[in-house]
Amino acid sequence: MALDLDTVRSTMPTTVPFVGTLGIEYLELSRDHAVCRLPDDVRFHNHIGGSHAGAMFTLAETASGALVLSNYGEMLGEVTPLAVEATIRYLKVARGPVTATAHMASEVDSVIATLKAGGRPEFHVEVELTTGEGDDLLVTGAVTVLWTLKPNRRPETA
């Protein structure tokens, strides 16, 4: 069974303590997308009063990880999801709460097929960072995270 929003919301701040430190909120989670928000907190601002680049990166990586768990969470006994690489573009100063919306850029079934064929799949998750709402929505960043599903080592048998 995939991990649902309530499970991810309740376990991630302790499983990944930095998520709890930043107070990242999990708003939506499905197999298609994940939405997380970084509340506006002066402790996480940069030198020009916007959200710090590191906090924005963590928000984006967190949303991408939630989406990975939604799609591959039922396989956690067999694999460990790991972020391999990420690129981020800071497009505008992010003022106020920042929202990260993650979407799979790879086909879930293709990733699973690669794994079942004995490979170690790699796949991309795209994340858009925004502030504001409606007519005031501002795209502040774009992130691509490359993930892998690393097969867990099996205990050796005698």
The domain segmentation of the chain, as residue ranges, is 5-151
Count CB-CB contacts under 10 A for residue 117.
Answer: 8
pLDDT digits (tens, 9 = 90+) for 17-58: 999 999 999 999 999 999 999 999 999 999 999 999 999 999
DSSP 3-state of 81: strand
Q: CA 79, CA 83: separation in Å to the nearest integer?
A: 13
Give the amino acid at 93: V
Rounded to two decimals, the pTM is: 0.93
5-151: CATH topology is Thiol Ester Dehydrase; Chain A (3.10.129)
Closest Cα to residue 66, out of 129, 132, 13?
Answer: 13
DSSP letters for 19-59: HHHHT-EEEEE-SSEEEEEE---GGGB-TTSSB-HHHHHHH
